[in-house]
Structure 1
């Protein structure tokens, strides 16, 4: 006998892209389930209580800075629903810190890419199979230790759509060969690029046009790397992608590429690349990752470039009609006041050239090589300079809030040392 399964999602704007991919995987695999979206903890609990299914699976996804707040929400939902439901946390934080997630009250942690895991998990619940048969999970044992099942496979990106019947950016690349020590992406999705085919992207666009949508955006860790296996852009592949998308769009359709929610690397900003983009894209800005004005800090972070291509990228982008939004991270491990002063100088120079500076504070994110690294102190002199840039209209960002997150993450890392026990099931 097959059990009825209700899937309740704690649906939050911050993680809709990943949630849409999971739900699309379930639909594509034709896994029967009742779906309910809870936009608040109270609504999530109401959906759990209202479900008449035999089993209720509650999906949560969040980034590391949100983990503490989501744990509080979980406690609220459990209290309001009488403890009913099997709660699973997924995403980059759960992948990196399954023991912490289990200790915080979730029944399961999803580890790695979730499409194969969610399909196998719902089927296991329907067929009353042991959850230990589901790949990509951490399950609490009798001692409270998070036991891991076998890893979930990393499949070609065309295997599942980015979404079905929903809007959002199309994921065109997963994984990243640039293993920056502060970034979670390559350590969750792998250190190689996996690109969605142009045919799959065009299929997404056709569906979006059929639903009356006209703006197309993309998810990728580095836009101009599309189609390339290595460090050098393949502009032919990029043009094939953009031209194919334009062919699927109506005359009033628009393509946004290299702007939110993705970016370009500074060394990829060349006159040839900018001329290509101008032929196809509607965005008048580009997001460029500089991260620091110190060559020492860039080298230590594994960024893969120094400061020299950053100025060139801004000049070239501006010359071709784009306004660069340039990311800087302050407080990276080993950074001193001289490094911060170099970043401030470079940021001011770029602003004079026509860029806007997007300021960030380093966070020791779980799953990264710098998870246990001590954030550098940001003195008052640096803070004042950042405030001065913002007051001039040359900088923006939530670096102060990120500094609070950084302190909490550093404390959590101490409470959960990397050497903590890991055991596999079976």
Structure 2
């Protein structure tokens, strides 16, 4: 039997078709491919929707490894039914954030569930011959597997050290070509893994657990912050990152630059430096469990960005490198100046979640609304286009917190925020709020936030009317026949233009109409028409 592995990218697929993040290619599937390639195992990545549309793809492979999030369980279920219906043998592995709740996967009957960080666990499995023969899974840390109608979970695996992340586990770059329209997509390259916010919610959890004010979350000893006598997961109550991935570990500048170079040489135009908090890059000593101190390591950031900006495709402006997530409490004038001096145009993504300072503390969030307003002002002063994130339906939300959130939305908009991004709360396995009910679009308080965010975003899009933006053709429009969707090369909105263009084609688009809070229409113009 051969060992051709199908890597199924089900991330953000939901019920089987991605409605959001259509232009994003995450790190996880390429990380899986990197481990397999390092062990001389042939593999290929396919989006789950491609497989559901074209089942014949399955005939080319002997085993399947699925990468998915909790929200993607319906799509994963559809794939698994196809998989088992097409064969009588071959391993089925499931990993990614969906693995945080192994019990939810019991009916899928996978051969193994890889929990948390996957590279070291996957490597142990393949080196022990898991694809070919019986392996005693109880001896492998960091997995779960069905046995006797139940799910057995082994002891957790230690977090992968920083050095090993750079030296031993490198994501595949060659497999980027497996993605349709990869040339027009945002391709994420991991810079740091893990989150430095080891504060915790003080709200009473659904199972009765509650903060006992032990003081560990604010302890001077960074290791003490990792321990909670009440066993409350660390970080913001809605987030599972610090509990699943641990404190931040940085990859070396050399491996990041090499990965970006290889991707650009393969035709990628848009790179995003992936990190739960980019300003944690090479910041402080491990374990880094204070989200706001010490300040950002500007020397390390400057060196990384200067090397990236020296790459030919970045120099000649046919490729763009973006930074997204940044903590407001670390975003200072010096940080902004460093980014600008490094010629890094950016839309800092700043999570606020709620405009209520008390509510922020209650959910375990670091910083304050004032920190976010200050960060937006600084970013705007230096020519950046910050996005600010809010969440409706959070535990602890009430009329007062909604009123404060609307006020702060208006303040960050006046301060220069390019866009307000509003999400509905979803309970994530492994987070403190995993047992709380999901938000509802019918909730009146959430509706107030959505209306305000939509109003602000539409007004911001009006500023693009008449402007010429450079973009990359992505795919045909789903709703406008004869039109092409165009992703912005640098900063800007999603665009739609008349005509058919091949994925990856660079276009200059004059914006003519605002279609929604997230989409504009325009027409393609020649580069010499004033661009």
Same fold, TM-score > 0.5, yes or no? yes
Contact 2:142 2:156 in 1 (8 A): yes
Deviation by residue 1:104-126 (Cα, 9 ceiling, x = unmatched):
43332111211122223233235
Aligned ranges for residues 185-204 of structure 1 at < 5 Å?
185-190=241-246, 192-204=247-259
Aligned ranges for residues 134-153 of structure 1 at < 5 Å?
134-148=140-154, 151=157
Aligned ranges for residues 81-230 of structure 1 at < 5 Å?
81-94=86-99, 96-123=100-127, 124-126=129-131, 128-132=133-137, 133-148=139-154, 151=157, 154-156=160-162, 157-158=165-166, 159-167=168-176, 168-178=187-197, 179-190=235-246, 192-213=247-268, 215-229=270-284, 230=288
Contact 1:173 1:221 in 2 (8 A): yes
Relative to structure 1, is the Cα distance of residues 149 and 127 closer, same or farther in structure 2, using a 3 angstrom cutoff? farther
* Residue 241 (structure 1) aligned with residue 296 (structure 2): no
Q: Normalising by the residue count of structure 1, what TM-score does the alignment of the two structures yield?
A: 0.81
Deviation by residue 1:342-384 (Cα, 9 ceiling, x = unmatched):
1111112212222121001111110111111345777425414
Deviation by residue 1:39-63 (Cα, 9 ceiling, x = unmatched):
5344675344344xxxx32111111
* Residue 317 (structure 1) aligned with residue 379 (structure 2): yes
Relative to structure 1, is the Cα distance of residues 13 and 111 closer, same or farther in structure 2, using a 3 angstrom cutoff? closer
Equivalent residue number for residue 362 of structure 1: 425
Relative to structure 1, is the Cα distance of residues 329 and 107 closer, same or farther in structure 2, using a 3 angstrom cutoff? same
Q: SS at 2:348's partner residue?
A: strand
Structure 2 CA distance for aligned equivalents of residues 258 and 395 of structure 1: 25
Contact 2:402 2:449 in 1 (8 A): no
Equivalent residue number for residue 40 of structure 2: 31
Structure 2 CA distance for aligned equivalents of residues 38 and 264 of structure 1: 29
Question: When you count helix as a share of all residues, which structure comes out higher?
Answer: 1
Contact 1:182 1:368 in 2 (8 A): yes
Root-mean-square deviation over aligned CA pairs? 2.7
Structure 1: state its 5+ residue gaps.
397-426
Structure 1 CA distance for aligned equivalents of residues 9 and 439 of structure 2: 35
Structure 2 CA distance for aligned equivalents of residues 152 and 193 of structure 1: 14
Equivalent residue number for residue 390 of structure 1: 454
Equivalent residue number for residue 4 of structure 1: 2
Q: Normalising by the residue count of structure 2, what TM-score does the alignment of the two structures yield?
A: 0.66
Relative to structure 1, is the Cα distance of residues 379 and 153 closer, same or farther in structure 2, using a 3 angstrom cutoff? closer
Shift of 1:153: 5.2
Equivalent residue number for residue 286 of structure 1: 348
Structure 2 CA distance for aligned equivalents of residues 104 and 127 of structure 1: 21
Q: SS at 2:92's partner residue?
A: strand
Among 82, 89, 94, the alignment partner of 1:76 is 82
Aligned ranges for residues 248-327 of structure 1 at < 5 Å?
248-250=311-313, 251-253=315-317, 254-259=319-324, 263-327=325-389
Structure 2 CA distance for aligned equivalents of residues 393 and 16 of structure 1: 26
Structure 2 CA distance for aligned equivalents of residues 258 and 323 of structure 1: 11
Structure 2 CA distance for aligned equivalents of residues 204 and 138 of structure 1: 31
Structure 2: state its 5+ residue gaps.
13-24, 177-186, 198-234, 461-531
Contact 2:110 2:146 in 1 (8 A): no
Relative to structure 1, is the Cα distance of residues 296 and 303 closer, same or farther in structure 2, using a 3 angstrom cutoff? same
| Number of matched pairs | 383
Structure 2 CA distance for aligned equivalents of residues 44 and 10 of structure 1: 13
Structure 2 CA distance for aligned equivalents of residues 38 and 171 of structure 1: 20
Contact 2:193 2:250 in 1 (8 A): yes
Contact 1:256 1:281 in 2 (8 A): no
Structure 2 CA distance for aligned equivalents of residues 395 and 137 of structure 1: 49
Equivalent residue number for residue 351 of structure 1: 413
Relative to structure 1, is the Cα distance of residues 13 and 189 closer, same or farther in structure 2, using a 3 angstrom cutoff? closer
Structure 2 CA distance for aligned equivalents of residues 151 and 395 of structure 1: 49
Shift of 1:151: 2.5
Contact 1:90 1:111 in 2 (8 A): yes
Shift of 1:12: 4.2
Relative to structure 1, is the Cα distance of residues 135 and 249 closer, same or farther in structure 2, using a 3 angstrom cutoff? farther
